[in-house]
Amino acid sequence: MQTYEYIKLPKLEAVIYKDDYNRRLRVDEFRGNAGSVWEYVMNEVQSHSFEKVIVKARSAHVPYFLEKGFVLEGGVNGYFNGDRAFFMSKFLTDDRRNSAYWRKEDDILQAVQQLERQERAESGMISVATGGDAGKLTDLYQEVFKLYPVPLHDPDYVKQSIKNGTIFVYIEEDGKIISAASAEISLSNKNAELTDCATRSSHRQGGYMKHLLRRLEDELVKQNIFCAYTIARALSFGMNAVFHQLGYRYGGRLANNCIIFDKMEDMNIWERDLSER
């Protein structure tokens, strides 16, 4: 089960993401006392099988969470209405802390960062999805991802996401979606996560994803949202290369962050200020 909860306590207001599937708890934002966050998180850990806790913290709270055994894994500039978010993580098991692919991911990152950045590409023949496209999007995600952190294999989930404001864009060929991506928008913080990037294996190397991401950027700018970020599989040369070449900056790596593709994987943070385009 994956649920968002808004909690309001005497010294705390917070948005909490409880993710039993990926065995993690994430504090997406909070206002109030950092100690109250710590107490709440520890109580939840006792009653769930969480292996990792992530707090998206403002700079003033970073020292407190370091004292509690959290580590700084990365961050996103402009995440909180222009202020930086620091991704603080606490690992509750040794297996969750230790990555079997860290050195390989370092090599991939270094190779990606040697690539030249590219000028803006035209967005091409791209459609913005409506609820009626949920089935076709689901068909794409079922082919591309055996496992995924959220239930993109469920048309109702995709339809509800679109209803809630997530922007899906796609490229279609012969009545079938061949590539798609989305922007999950936080209106309260004025940021957007670029995610759900997928291209059918029969159409790889076509450069579709760069066009889709540029179109998503256009849609975000129309809504005056300038903080764009993504969390990409650290083992994927292709996806990391796409974001680097589009002008995104590397912002850190989240160890054993979620189940995607075929296993629990490390994820790289990339971020960009769209007002600088």
The answer to whether 109 and 234 have CB atoms below 8 angstroms apart is yes
3-state class (DSSP) for residue 67: helix
Q: Are 216 and 265 in the same domain?
A: yes
Domain boundary among 49, 68, 93: 93
> 236-266, pLDDT tens digit by residue?
999 999 999 999 999 999 999 999 988 999 9
Q: Are 120 and 233 in the same domain?
A: yes
Q: Are 176 and 204 in the same domain?
A: yes
- 265-271 average pLDDT score: 98
Q: Are 188 and 67 in the same domain?
A: no
Cα Rg, the chain, nearest whole Å = 18
Domain boundary among 93, 127, 144: 93
* CA atoms of 262 and 19, how far apart (whole Å): 18
Q: Is the pLDDT of residue 120 over 90?
A: no
Name the domain count of the chain. 2
Domain containing residue 7: 2-93
Q: Are 7 and 67 in the same domain?
A: yes
Find the range with the poorest average confidence among 65-79, 197-211, 255-269. 197-211
Closest CA to 69 of 44, 42, 48: 42
**Taking phi first (over 0 means left), then psi (-120 to 50 degrees means alpha), and beta for anything else, what does residue 94 get?**
alpha
The CATH number of the domain holding residue 250 is 3.40.630.30
- 9-37 average pLDDT score: 95
DSSP element (H, E) containing 211: helix 208-222
